[in-house]
Structure 1
Amino acid sequence: MEKIQEKLKQSLPLLKEASKLSASSVFKVTKTLIFFIVFNLIFLITGLVYLFVGDIIAYKIVLVILILIVGIVSTFRATTKRYHQVLLEAGKIYFDKLETFKLKFAESVIDKLEAGAKTKAGMTVNQIVNIPQIINSSYENVPKIIVKGINYLVSKIPLVEYIDVINKEFISQEKEQKVNYLVGKTNAFFNEKVFSINHVKTIRIIFVVAILLQIAFVYFIKN
């Protein structure tokens, strides 16, 4: 058992923190979900109270329905963005440590492209290679949150950038050189374009827009 644990520790850095990360991720998503449900429910109840206190007019009913719609949409969008942020954070923590994965990932991309994989504009790299399979073939017992996080990160890479590298810049180079270059390109892409993404700002914007709309709807229902 000790040998297995040591092997896992060497194979996947920070594995001991995986359960803590998973618990933290669930907590963050759940907290966002509950927060938006409660805050939207307050406005919905307020709107219903004002609706039934005064005269029930058609446009006021429509406004109550709009309060409900804004609540559902804002809750869904905010929770989704929080989930994406959690995946981003999980992937960021592990990505710099997963050298074996990055090498196999680069090899797989090169093999697929050189074998003539069908590609088209708008495709991302994870549409031609199986990221979960590569991760699980590189390490043992990888937590699902990490697999999802890495897969989410890779889904941000536009395939056209890799096609240009393989077909133009490295068409006559050895595979090892292509792999090393692609690993470096992948690291640069994530550091410059992915890890700088902050969905928390988007969640705050969603909250502000939702609360302004809710206040306006309640005001017109009341008056």
Structure 2
Amino acid sequence: MSVGLWGCVSGDGGGPSDDAAPGGQIGGVQVAEGACDEEKEDIGADDVSPLGFSAREALSALSGERSAPLTWAKGGSTTVTVAAGELVAARFVRSTQAKVANSGPGGAESTAIAADCADHLQLDVPLAFSTEDGAFDEAFGVTLRVWQVDAGRFFRRIDLDALQGSYEVTEVDPTEFREVVVSLSGELTGSAVSGTISGIAENPPSGTGPEADVSARPFNVADF
């Protein structure tokens, strides 16, 4: 099962976060998993990228604390605060639509789907993420995907076994599923932050061997 989240990648984020979104959006356009071929080039903090700005300029617009109201899916609200830290590494990513072998005569190549695979920067940074009610008080690395100087998106799978906050999965009963995964996705702009905390509860496989079917139940934790 594939669930769309922020990002236009089919590989890893290439930074301190090992959790890249398997498909989703970049620049406001929905992109399917595997729809984009990407070439990554390491760049210096002050190198002006082909997008017309440097990693330092982008992070200058996106770093620092931002707060927003957060609404829990099960009811109630609090305030969330997100803060991006200093640049660890940066890459320019040239993104083009993937080519796939056509099943028709001759096996000609064609584009996977009609997707907008936008060139962007990847900025590896530490991120602090906390809620006023104490449910989350976390710090981890993420890769910001920046397509314009004052807007960047991130995705992070949350390690439920290493939480510093008090959050526990109650949206589903974890004992009824093989695995429960909770993820954070968000967008930073020059003055605001928004995002979603969501989860996937994976059922035990139905059947055995390579033909076994695996299903999963998505659930929402919070929006901000």
Q: Structure 1-normalised TM-score?
A: 0.21
Q: Greater share of helix residues, 1 or 2? A: 1
Q: Structure 2-normalised TM-score?
A: 0.21
The structure, 1 or 2, with the larger RCO (C-alpha pairs under 8 Å, 6+ apart) is 1
Q: Greater share of strand residues, 1 or 2? A: 2
Larger radius of gyration: 1
